[in-house]
Amino acid sequence: MRLIFVLFDSLNRLALGPYGGTIGTPNFDRFAERAVTFDRHYVGSLPCIPARRDIQTGRAGFFHRSWGPMEPYDRSFCESLRRKGVHTHLVTDHFHYFEPGGSGYHTQYDTWDFIRGQEYDPWKAMSEPPLEKFAETYDPRHYDPVKKRRRLRHLINREYERSEADLPMPRCYASAFEFLDANRGADNWMLQLELFDPHEPFHAPARFRRDGDSAYRGAMLNWPDYRRVSETEEEVAEIRANYAALIRMCDEYFGHLLDYMDERDMWRDTAIVLSTDHGFLLGEHGWWGKSRMPYYEEVVHVPLMVYHPDHAGAGGRRGNALTQTPDIMPTILDIFGCDAPAEVTGRSLLSHMPTLEAETDRIVAFGLFAGPVGVTDGRYVMFHYPPDVLGEGLHEYTLMPQHMVDPFTAEELRTAELSPPFDFTQKMPLLKIAATREAARPPNLGGSFEDQGFRLYDLDTDPGQTTPIRDPAVEARLYAGLRAYMAAHDTPAESYAWLGLEPGADSRASALNDE
Protein backbone atom coordinates (compact mmCIF):
# COMPACT_ATOMS: atom_id res chain seq x y z
CA MET A 1 0.00 0.00 0.00
CA ARG A 2 1.02 3.61 -0.64
CA LEU A 3 -0.51 6.80 0.75
CA ILE A 4 -0.43 10.46 -0.25
CA PHE A 5 -1.60 12.69 2.58
CA VAL A 6 -2.36 16.17 1.24
CA LEU A 7 -2.57 18.71 4.04
CA PHE A 8 -3.50 22.33 3.34
CA ASP A 9 -3.46 25.20 5.84
CA SER A 10 -6.48 27.46 6.44
CA LEU A 11 -8.58 25.74 3.77
CA ASN A 12 -12.13 27.00 4.25
CA ARG A 13 -14.56 24.13 3.65
CA LEU A 14 -17.19 26.44 2.15
CA ALA A 15 -14.76 27.59 -0.55
CA LEU A 16 -14.75 24.13 -2.16
CA GLY A 17 -17.23 22.89 -4.72
CA PRO A 18 -17.90 19.57 -2.94
CA TYR A 19 -19.10 21.58 0.07
CA GLY A 20 -21.19 24.05 -1.90
CA GLY A 21 -18.52 26.61 -2.77
CA THR A 22 -18.90 28.75 -5.88
CA ILE A 23 -15.30 29.99 -6.33
CA GLY A 24 -14.65 27.31 -8.94
CA THR A 25 -12.66 24.26 -7.83
CA PRO A 26 -12.97 21.69 -10.64
CA ASN A 27 -10.15 19.52 -9.33
CA PHE A 28 -11.43 19.30 -5.76
CA ASP A 29 -14.77 18.42 -7.41
CA ARG A 30 -13.02 15.81 -9.54
CA PHE A 31 -11.36 14.20 -6.52
CA ALA A 32 -14.71 14.11 -4.68
CA GLU A 33 -16.03 11.91 -7.48
CA ARG A 34 -13.46 9.26 -6.48
CA ALA A 35 -13.32 9.87 -2.73
CA VAL A 36 -15.67 9.79 0.21
CA THR A 37 -16.40 13.36 1.28
CA PHE A 38 -16.92 13.64 5.03
CA ASP A 39 -19.53 16.24 5.91
CA ARG A 40 -19.04 16.50 9.68
CA HIS A 41 -15.29 16.79 10.19
CA TYR A 42 -14.07 19.08 12.98
CA VAL A 43 -10.76 20.30 14.32
CA GLY A 44 -9.28 19.29 17.65
CA SER A 45 -6.48 21.52 18.94
CA LEU A 46 -5.99 24.98 17.46
CA PRO A 47 -4.21 26.53 15.64
CA CYS A 48 -1.44 25.31 13.27
CA ILE A 49 1.19 23.43 15.29
CA PRO A 50 -1.24 22.13 17.96
CA ALA A 51 -3.35 20.70 15.12
CA ARG A 52 -0.30 18.97 13.70
CA ARG A 53 0.47 17.44 17.06
CA ASP A 54 -3.06 16.01 17.05
CA ILE A 55 -2.41 14.61 13.58
CA GLN A 56 0.87 12.97 14.55
CA THR A 57 -0.28 11.57 17.92
CA GLY A 58 -3.97 10.80 17.38
CA ARG A 59 -5.22 12.68 20.43
CA ALA A 60 -6.20 16.23 21.29
CA GLY A 61 -3.52 18.07 23.25
CA PHE A 62 -5.08 21.45 24.01
CA PHE A 63 -6.11 20.62 27.58
CA HIS A 64 -2.47 20.14 28.64
CA ARG A 65 -0.35 22.66 26.80
CA SER A 66 -0.27 25.37 24.16
CA TRP A 67 1.63 25.64 20.86
CA GLY A 68 4.95 23.86 21.34
CA PRO A 69 7.35 21.15 20.16
CA MET A 70 6.68 17.46 20.00
CA GLU A 71 7.13 16.02 23.48
CA PRO A 72 9.54 13.17 24.33
CA TYR A 73 6.58 10.95 25.22
CA ASP A 74 4.63 11.68 22.00
CA ARG A 75 4.39 8.71 19.67
CA SER A 76 4.04 9.80 16.06
CA PHE A 77 2.39 7.70 13.38
CA CYS A 78 5.82 7.82 11.69
CA GLU A 79 7.24 5.69 14.50
CA SER A 80 4.60 3.00 14.04
CA LEU A 81 4.96 3.01 10.26
CA ARG A 82 8.74 2.74 10.49
CA ARG A 83 8.39 -0.44 12.56
CA LYS A 84 6.06 -1.77 9.86
CA GLY A 85 8.65 -1.08 7.16
CA VAL A 86 6.84 1.90 5.66
CA HIS A 87 8.97 4.83 4.49
CA THR A 88 7.56 8.27 5.37
CA HIS A 89 8.50 11.39 3.40
CA LEU A 90 7.44 14.98 4.11
CA VAL A 91 7.35 17.79 1.57
CA THR A 92 6.38 21.05 3.23
CA ASP A 93 6.64 24.81 3.04
CA HIS A 94 5.13 25.15 6.53
CA PHE A 95 7.97 27.11 8.06
CA HIS A 96 6.55 26.95 11.61
CA TYR A 97 8.07 23.47 11.82
CA PHE A 98 11.44 25.18 11.66
CA GLU A 99 10.82 27.67 14.47
CA PRO A 100 11.69 26.64 18.05
CA GLY A 101 8.03 26.02 18.91
CA GLY A 102 7.63 23.59 16.02
CA SER A 103 10.68 21.44 16.60
CA GLY A 104 10.54 17.67 16.58
CA TYR A 105 7.78 17.32 13.97
CA HIS A 106 9.51 17.13 10.60
CA THR A 107 12.27 14.93 12.05
CA GLN A 108 9.73 12.20 12.75
CA TYR A 109 9.70 11.41 9.02
CA ASP A 110 12.34 9.19 7.44
CA THR A 111 13.11 11.91 4.89
CA TRP A 112 11.86 15.46 4.34
CA ASP A 113 12.16 18.47 2.06
CA PHE A 114 11.59 22.03 3.30
CA ILE A 115 10.52 24.57 0.68
CA ARG A 116 11.40 28.12 1.75
CA GLY A 117 9.65 31.46 1.46
CA GLN A 118 6.19 31.32 3.01
CA GLU A 119 4.69 34.05 5.22
CA TYR A 120 7.51 35.54 7.34
CA ASP A 121 10.04 32.74 6.83
CA PRO A 122 13.48 34.36 7.47
CA TRP A 123 14.75 33.19 4.11
CA LYS A 124 16.30 35.95 2.03
CA ALA A 125 18.59 38.65 3.43
CA MET A 126 18.19 42.29 2.45
CA SER A 127 19.73 44.78 4.87
CA GLU A 128 18.26 47.80 3.08
CA PRO A 129 14.90 46.77 1.63
CA PRO A 130 13.14 49.16 -0.80
CA LEU A 131 10.66 50.54 1.72
CA GLU A 132 9.38 53.29 -0.57
CA LYS A 133 8.57 50.76 -3.28
CA PHE A 134 6.84 48.52 -0.76
CA ALA A 135 4.77 51.46 0.57
CA GLU A 136 3.48 52.18 -2.94
CA THR A 137 2.42 48.59 -3.50
CA TYR A 138 1.22 47.27 -0.14
CA ASP A 139 -1.41 48.80 2.16
CA PRO A 140 0.22 49.81 5.48
CA ARG A 141 -2.74 48.38 7.42
CA HIS A 142 -1.44 44.96 6.41
CA TYR A 143 2.22 45.75 5.81
CA ASP A 144 3.42 48.39 8.25
CA PRO A 145 7.22 47.81 8.30
CA VAL A 146 7.50 49.12 11.87
CA LYS A 147 4.42 47.69 13.63
CA LYS A 148 4.45 44.47 11.57
CA ARG A 149 8.15 43.99 11.09
CA ARG A 150 7.99 40.24 10.51
CA ARG A 151 5.77 40.88 7.49
CA LEU A 152 8.63 42.83 5.95
CA ARG A 153 10.37 39.46 5.58
CA HIS A 154 7.54 38.36 3.33
CA LEU A 155 8.00 41.35 1.04
CA ILE A 156 11.73 40.68 0.83
CA ASN A 157 11.10 37.02 -0.02
CA ARG A 158 8.69 38.06 -2.77
CA GLU A 159 11.48 40.06 -4.42
CA TYR A 160 13.19 36.75 -5.18
CA GLU A 161 10.09 35.04 -6.58
CA ARG A 162 10.10 36.37 -10.10
CA SER A 163 7.82 33.81 -11.74
CA GLU A 164 5.00 31.50 -10.73
CA ALA A 165 7.39 28.56 -10.70
CA ASP A 166 9.39 30.32 -7.96
CA LEU A 167 6.44 30.39 -5.53
CA PRO A 168 6.43 27.83 -2.70
CA MET A 169 3.34 25.93 -3.86
CA PRO A 170 4.67 25.00 -7.32
CA ARG A 171 8.00 24.12 -5.75
CA CYS A 172 6.26 21.83 -3.24
CA TYR A 173 4.50 19.97 -6.03
CA ALA A 174 7.75 19.72 -8.00
CA SER A 175 9.39 18.13 -4.96
CA ALA A 176 6.46 15.75 -4.51
CA PHE A 177 6.64 14.66 -8.14
CA GLU A 178 10.38 14.08 -7.74
CA PHE A 179 9.60 11.71 -4.86
CA LEU A 180 6.86 9.97 -6.84
CA ASP A 181 9.05 9.57 -9.92
CA ALA A 182 11.70 7.90 -7.80
CA ASN A 183 9.35 5.70 -5.77
CA ARG A 184 6.15 5.00 -7.68
CA GLY A 185 7.43 1.52 -8.53
CA ALA A 186 7.99 0.74 -4.85
CA ASP A 187 5.54 -0.32 -2.18
CA ASN A 188 5.05 0.68 1.47
CA TRP A 189 5.58 4.44 1.48
CA MET A 190 3.69 7.50 2.62
CA LEU A 191 4.14 10.96 1.12
CA GLN A 192 2.84 13.88 3.16
CA LEU A 193 2.46 16.81 0.77
CA GLU A 194 1.85 19.75 3.08
CA LEU A 195 0.97 23.14 1.62
CA PHE A 196 1.03 26.32 3.70
CA ASP A 197 -1.44 27.84 1.22
CA PRO A 198 -4.14 29.09 1.33
CA HIS A 199 -2.88 30.55 4.62
CA GLU A 200 -2.47 34.31 4.58
CA PRO A 201 -0.95 36.33 3.00
CA PHE A 202 -3.33 35.51 0.16
CA HIS A 203 -0.86 35.81 -2.70
CA ALA A 204 -1.52 34.21 -6.08
CA PRO A 205 -0.61 35.12 -9.68
CA ALA A 206 -3.03 37.48 -11.40
CA ARG A 207 -4.30 34.75 -13.71
CA PHE A 208 -6.22 33.22 -10.79
CA ARG A 209 -8.28 36.39 -10.25
CA ARG A 210 -11.75 36.59 -11.78
CA ASP A 211 -13.58 39.60 -13.21
CA GLY A 212 -16.27 40.73 -10.84
CA ASP A 213 -14.64 39.42 -7.66
CA SER A 214 -13.56 42.91 -6.62
CA ALA A 215 -13.69 46.50 -7.89
CA TYR A 216 -10.95 47.64 -5.49
CA ARG A 217 -8.00 49.48 -7.06
CA GLY A 218 -5.89 50.46 -4.06
CA ALA A 219 -2.71 49.07 -2.51
CA MET A 220 -2.43 45.36 -1.71
CA LEU A 221 -4.83 44.04 0.96
CA ASN A 222 -4.26 40.33 1.51
CA TRP A 223 -3.14 39.79 5.12
CA PRO A 224 -5.90 40.71 7.62
CA ASP A 225 -5.19 40.75 11.34
CA TYR A 226 -7.21 38.40 13.54
CA ARG A 227 -9.76 40.96 14.73
CA ARG A 228 -13.19 42.40 14.05
CA VAL A 229 -13.89 43.71 10.56
CA SER A 230 -13.37 47.46 10.14
CA GLU A 231 -12.86 47.63 6.37
CA THR A 232 -15.32 48.97 3.81
CA GLU A 233 -17.43 46.55 1.77
CA GLU A 234 -15.13 47.14 -1.20
CA GLU A 235 -12.04 46.32 0.87
CA VAL A 236 -13.67 43.20 2.31
CA ALA A 237 -14.46 42.07 -1.23
CA GLU A 238 -10.83 42.62 -2.24
CA ILE A 239 -9.45 40.48 0.59
CA ARG A 240 -11.96 37.75 -0.25
CA ALA A 241 -11.01 37.99 -3.93
CA ASN A 242 -7.37 37.41 -3.05
CA TYR A 243 -8.31 34.37 -0.96
CA ALA A 244 -10.47 33.05 -3.81
CA ALA A 245 -7.57 33.44 -6.25
CA LEU A 246 -5.33 31.45 -3.93
CA ILE A 247 -8.00 28.73 -3.62
CA ARG A 248 -8.10 28.45 -7.42
CA MET A 249 -4.32 28.12 -7.44
CA CYS A 250 -4.53 25.36 -4.81
CA ASP A 251 -7.15 23.64 -6.96
CA GLU A 252 -5.12 23.80 -10.17
CA TYR A 253 -1.95 22.42 -8.63
CA PHE A 254 -3.86 19.69 -6.81
CA GLY A 255 -5.23 18.81 -10.24
CA HIS A 256 -1.66 18.18 -11.43
CA LEU A 257 -1.40 15.48 -8.75
CA LEU A 258 -4.67 13.91 -9.94
CA ASP A 259 -3.32 13.97 -13.50
CA TYR A 260 -0.18 12.20 -12.31
CA MET A 261 -2.32 9.52 -10.63
CA ASP A 262 -4.41 9.09 -13.80
CA GLU A 263 -1.49 8.88 -16.20
CA ARG A 264 0.36 6.27 -14.15
CA ASP A 265 -2.60 4.12 -13.05
CA MET A 266 -1.88 4.77 -9.36
CA TRP A 267 -5.50 4.67 -8.18
CA ARG A 268 -5.37 0.88 -7.93
CA ASP A 269 -2.80 0.82 -5.12
CA THR A 270 -2.44 4.34 -3.69
CA ALA A 271 -4.71 5.98 -1.12
CA ILE A 272 -5.18 9.75 -0.76
CA VAL A 273 -6.30 11.58 2.38
CA LEU A 274 -6.97 15.32 1.97
CA SER A 275 -7.69 17.75 4.79
CA THR A 276 -6.58 20.93 6.57
CA ASP A 277 -5.66 22.09 10.07
CA HIS A 278 -8.45 24.68 10.40
CA GLY A 279 -10.50 27.12 8.35
CA PHE A 280 -10.54 30.90 8.25
CA LEU A 281 -13.10 33.65 8.76
CA LEU A 282 -13.24 36.03 5.80
CA GLY A 283 -15.45 38.67 7.35
CA GLU A 284 -18.30 36.32 8.25
CA HIS A 285 -19.82 37.12 11.64
CA GLY A 286 -17.83 40.36 11.56
CA TRP A 287 -14.42 38.68 12.08
CA TRP A 288 -11.17 38.01 10.27
CA GLY A 289 -9.00 34.97 10.93
CA LYS A 290 -9.04 32.32 13.62
CA SER A 291 -8.20 31.61 17.27
CA ARG A 292 -9.42 34.51 19.42
CA MET A 293 -12.92 34.87 17.95
CA PRO A 294 -15.78 32.43 18.60
CA TYR A 295 -15.23 28.99 17.11
CA TYR A 296 -17.59 29.49 14.19
CA GLU A 297 -18.09 26.76 11.60
CA GLU A 298 -15.88 28.58 9.09
CA VAL A 299 -12.93 27.92 11.43
CA VAL A 300 -13.64 24.56 13.06
CA HIS A 301 -15.77 22.61 10.55
CA VAL A 302 -13.21 21.63 7.93
CA PRO A 303 -12.96 19.55 4.74
CA LEU A 304 -11.95 15.90 4.71
CA MET A 305 -11.91 13.63 1.66
CA VAL A 306 -10.58 10.08 1.64
CA TYR A 307 -9.87 7.74 -1.25
CA HIS A 308 -8.86 4.11 -0.65
CA PRO A 309 -8.46 1.55 -3.45
CA ASP A 310 -10.33 -1.07 -1.43
CA HIS A 311 -13.33 1.27 -1.25
CA ALA A 312 -13.20 2.73 -4.74
CA GLY A 313 -16.85 1.81 -5.15
CA ALA A 314 -17.75 4.39 -2.52
CA GLY A 315 -16.41 7.21 -4.71
CA GLY A 316 -18.71 10.21 -4.88
CA ARG A 317 -20.55 9.32 -1.71
CA ARG A 318 -20.89 11.41 1.45
CA GLY A 319 -19.80 10.37 4.92
CA ASN A 320 -22.03 11.58 7.74
CA ALA A 321 -19.86 10.32 10.58
CA LEU A 322 -18.73 12.89 13.12
CA THR A 323 -14.94 12.95 12.80
CA GLN A 324 -12.12 15.22 13.88
CA THR A 325 -8.42 15.90 13.37
CA PRO A 326 -7.07 13.21 15.79
CA ASP A 327 -8.86 10.58 13.66
CA ILE A 328 -6.35 11.10 10.85
CA MET A 329 -3.49 9.41 12.72
CA PRO A 330 -5.21 6.04 13.37
CA THR A 331 -6.59 6.19 9.81
CA ILE A 332 -3.06 6.44 8.41
CA LEU A 333 -1.99 3.51 10.57
CA ASP A 334 -5.06 1.50 9.53
CA ILE A 335 -4.27 2.04 5.85
CA PHE A 336 -0.99 0.20 6.44
CA GLY A 337 -2.41 -2.43 8.79
CA CYS A 338 -0.84 -0.95 11.93
CA ASP A 339 -2.46 -0.92 15.35
CA ALA A 340 -2.72 2.46 17.07
CA PRO A 341 -0.86 3.00 20.37
CA ALA A 342 -2.99 2.66 23.48
CA GLU A 343 -3.06 6.39 24.19
CA VAL A 344 -4.67 7.27 20.84
CA THR A 345 -8.21 8.60 21.26
CA GLY A 346 -8.96 9.16 17.56
CA ARG A 347 -10.84 6.59 15.49
CA SER A 348 -9.93 5.21 12.08
CA LEU A 349 -12.03 6.61 9.27
CA LEU A 350 -11.77 3.36 7.35
CA SER A 351 -14.37 1.83 9.65
CA HIS A 352 -16.92 4.19 8.07
CA MET A 353 -15.95 3.55 4.45
CA PRO A 354 -17.90 0.34 3.71
CA THR A 355 -21.31 1.54 4.94
CA LEU A 356 -20.80 5.27 5.60
CA GLU A 357 -22.95 4.88 8.69
CA ALA A 358 -22.29 7.19 11.62
CA GLU A 359 -22.37 6.69 15.36
CA THR A 360 -25.34 8.38 16.95
CA ASP A 361 -23.74 9.26 20.28
CA ARG A 362 -20.27 10.66 19.54
CA ILE A 363 -19.45 14.09 20.96
CA VAL A 364 -16.11 15.83 20.35
CA ALA A 365 -14.45 18.94 21.76
CA PHE A 366 -12.04 21.45 20.26
CA GLY A 367 -10.25 24.65 21.20
CA LEU A 368 -7.07 26.45 22.22
CA PHE A 369 -5.18 25.95 25.43
CA ALA A 370 -6.36 28.46 28.10
CA GLY A 371 -9.37 29.39 26.00
CA PRO A 372 -13.03 28.49 25.62
CA VAL A 373 -14.01 24.99 24.54
CA GLY A 374 -16.18 24.07 21.59
CA VAL A 375 -18.37 20.98 21.75
CA THR A 376 -20.42 19.32 19.02
CA ASP A 377 -22.40 16.20 18.27
CA GLY A 378 -22.52 17.10 14.58
CA ARG A 379 -25.88 18.85 14.77
CA TYR A 380 -25.55 21.17 17.74
CA VAL A 381 -22.39 23.13 18.46
CA MET A 382 -21.75 24.85 21.79
CA PHE A 383 -19.11 27.38 22.83
CA HIS A 384 -18.35 27.12 26.54
CA TYR A 385 -16.49 30.03 28.12
CA PRO A 386 -14.84 29.81 31.57
CA PRO A 387 -16.09 32.19 34.28
CA ASP A 388 -12.89 34.24 33.89
CA VAL A 389 -11.03 33.56 30.66
CA LEU A 390 -8.08 35.61 31.93
CA GLY A 391 -8.15 34.03 35.37
CA GLU A 392 -5.27 32.09 36.90
CA GLY A 393 -5.23 28.45 37.88
CA LEU A 394 -4.18 26.64 34.69
CA HIS A 395 -0.78 25.09 34.10
CA GLU A 396 1.22 24.01 31.07
CA TYR A 397 2.31 20.38 31.38
CA THR A 398 5.41 19.84 29.31
CA LEU A 399 8.97 18.60 29.07
CA MET A 400 9.66 21.10 26.26
CA PRO A 401 9.07 24.59 27.75
CA GLN A 402 9.04 26.50 24.47
CA HIS A 403 6.36 28.80 23.08
CA MET A 404 5.76 29.50 19.40
CA VAL A 405 8.92 31.59 18.96
CA ASP A 406 10.30 32.36 22.41
CA PRO A 407 11.18 30.02 25.27
CA PHE A 408 9.21 30.16 28.48
CA THR A 409 10.33 33.19 30.42
CA ALA A 410 12.29 33.06 33.66
CA GLU A 411 9.13 34.21 35.47
CA GLU A 412 7.17 31.28 34.03
CA LEU A 413 9.89 28.73 34.76
CA ARG A 414 10.25 29.87 38.38
CA THR A 415 6.76 28.45 38.95
CA ALA A 416 7.76 25.01 37.67
CA GLU A 417 7.27 21.93 39.78
CA LEU A 418 7.27 18.22 38.95
CA SER A 419 3.91 16.68 38.11
CA PRO A 420 3.07 12.97 38.16
CA PRO A 421 2.67 11.31 34.74
CA PHE A 422 -0.54 11.39 32.76
CA ASP A 423 -1.89 8.22 31.20
CA PHE A 424 -0.38 9.11 27.81
CA THR A 425 3.13 10.24 28.88
CA GLN A 426 4.75 6.77 29.03
CA LYS A 427 5.17 7.06 32.81
CA MET A 428 7.25 10.24 32.44
CA PRO A 429 6.66 13.00 35.00
CA LEU A 430 6.23 16.47 33.54
CA LEU A 431 7.00 20.06 34.41
CA LYS A 432 3.93 21.83 35.72
CA ILE A 433 4.31 25.52 34.85
CA ALA A 434 1.83 28.29 35.67
CA ALA A 435 -0.02 29.52 32.58
CA THR A 436 0.35 33.27 32.96
CA ARG A 437 -1.76 35.88 31.19
CA GLU A 438 1.31 37.34 29.51
CA ALA A 439 2.69 34.09 28.09
CA ALA A 440 3.75 34.31 24.42
CA ARG A 441 1.19 31.85 23.12
CA PRO A 442 -1.78 32.24 20.74
CA PRO A 443 -4.05 34.09 21.01
CA ASN A 444 -2.22 36.29 23.54
CA LEU A 445 0.00 37.35 20.63
CA GLY A 446 -2.90 39.19 18.99
CA GLY A 447 -5.82 39.53 21.38
CA SER A 448 -7.84 37.55 23.90
CA PHE A 449 -11.23 35.91 24.34
CA GLU A 450 -12.60 38.29 26.94
CA ASP A 451 -15.25 39.98 24.76
CA GLN A 452 -17.31 36.84 24.02
CA GLY A 453 -19.47 34.29 25.82
CA PHE A 454 -21.62 31.15 25.74
CA ARG A 455 -23.35 30.18 22.49
CA LEU A 456 -25.42 27.21 21.35
CA TYR A 457 -26.44 26.73 17.71
CA ASP A 458 -28.63 24.20 15.91
CA LEU A 459 -26.79 23.67 12.62
CA ASP A 460 -29.75 21.88 11.02
CA THR A 461 -31.98 24.93 11.26
CA ASP A 462 -29.28 27.63 11.44
CA PRO A 463 -26.19 26.54 9.47
CA GLY A 464 -25.00 30.14 9.24
CA GLN A 465 -25.02 30.48 13.05
CA THR A 466 -27.00 33.70 13.07
CA THR A 467 -29.39 32.92 15.95
CA PRO A 468 -28.07 31.30 19.15
CA ILE A 469 -30.55 29.27 21.18
CA ARG A 470 -30.93 27.85 24.68
CA ASP A 471 -32.03 24.24 25.21
CA PRO A 472 -31.38 22.73 28.66
CA ALA A 473 -31.63 19.12 27.46
CA VAL A 474 -29.19 19.65 24.59
CA GLU A 475 -26.82 21.60 26.80
CA ALA A 476 -26.85 18.88 29.48
CA ARG A 477 -26.05 16.22 26.89
CA LEU A 478 -23.21 18.25 25.35
CA TYR A 479 -21.75 19.01 28.78
CA ALA A 480 -21.86 15.32 29.67
CA GLY A 481 -20.08 14.60 26.39
CA LEU A 482 -17.48 17.27 27.13
CA ARG A 483 -16.72 15.79 30.54
CA ALA A 484 -16.38 12.33 29.00
CA TYR A 485 -14.05 13.73 26.33
CA MET A 486 -11.95 15.46 28.97
CA ALA A 487 -11.80 12.26 31.02
CA ALA A 488 -10.71 10.26 27.96
CA HIS A 489 -7.83 12.73 27.56
CA ASP A 490 -6.81 12.56 31.24
CA THR A 491 -7.38 16.29 31.59
CA PRO A 492 -5.61 18.05 34.49
CA ALA A 493 -7.70 18.45 37.61
CA GLU A 494 -7.58 22.26 37.67
CA SER A 495 -9.00 22.51 34.14
CA TYR A 496 -12.47 21.54 35.34
CA ALA A 497 -12.53 24.25 37.98
CA TRP A 498 -11.03 26.84 35.62
CA LEU A 499 -13.72 26.06 33.05
CA GLY A 500 -16.42 26.17 35.72
CA LEU A 501 -17.29 22.50 35.25
CA GLU A 502 -17.93 19.68 37.66
CA PRO A 503 -15.75 16.68 36.73
CA GLY A 504 -17.37 13.45 35.59
CA ALA A 505 -17.20 10.37 37.79
CA ASP A 506 -14.45 8.80 35.65
CA SER A 507 -12.28 11.90 35.29
CA ARG A 508 -8.76 12.41 36.58
CA ALA A 509 -10.04 15.31 38.71
CA SER A 510 -12.69 13.11 40.33
CA ALA A 511 -10.15 10.38 41.02
CA LEU A 512 -7.77 12.85 42.64
CA ASN A 513 -10.56 14.29 44.77
CA ASP A 514 -11.42 10.80 45.99
CA GLU A 515 -7.89 10.11 47.21
Is omega for the bond preceding 47 within 30 degrees of 0, making it cis? yes
For residue 48, count other CB atoms closer than 10 A to its CB.
23
Determine the pLDDT at residue 448: 79
Determine the pLDDT at residue 447: 73
Q: Taking the CA of residue 294 as centre, how many other CA atoms within 13 Å lie in the half-sphere pointing to its CB?
A: 22
- Distance, CA of 436 to CA of 415 (rounded, Å): 10
Q: Which stretch of 179-183, 219-223, 240-244, 290-294 has the lowest confidence by average pLDDT? A: 290-294
Number of residues that this document lists for the chain = 515
pLDDT band for 511, please (50, 70, 90 cuts).
low
394-410: burial string, b at 16+ Cβ within 10 Å, e else: bbbbbbbbbbbeeebee
291, 225 contact by CB (below 8 A): no
Q: What is this structure's pTM? A: 0.96
Minimal CA–CA distance to 172: which of 245, 99, 110, 256?
A: 256
pLDDT band for 319, please (50, 70, 90 cuts).
very high
- Distance, CA of 236 to CA of 140 (rounded, Å): 16
Minimal CA–CA distance to 193: which of 267, 112, 255?
A: 112
Distance set, CA 273 to CA 86, 161, 496 (Å): 17, 30, 35
Distance set, CA 463 to CA 380, 381, 456 (Å): 10, 10, 12
Q: How confident is the model over 104-160, as pLDDT tens digits?
A: 999 999 999 999 999 999 999 999 999 999 999 999 999 998 889 999 999 999 999
438, pLDDT greater than 90: no
- Give the percent of the chain with pLDDT over 90: 90
Coil, strand or helix at 317: coil
Ranges of each domain in the chain: 364-514
- Distance, CA of 197 to CA of 10 (rounded, Å): 7
Residue 190's DSSP bridge partners are 3, 88
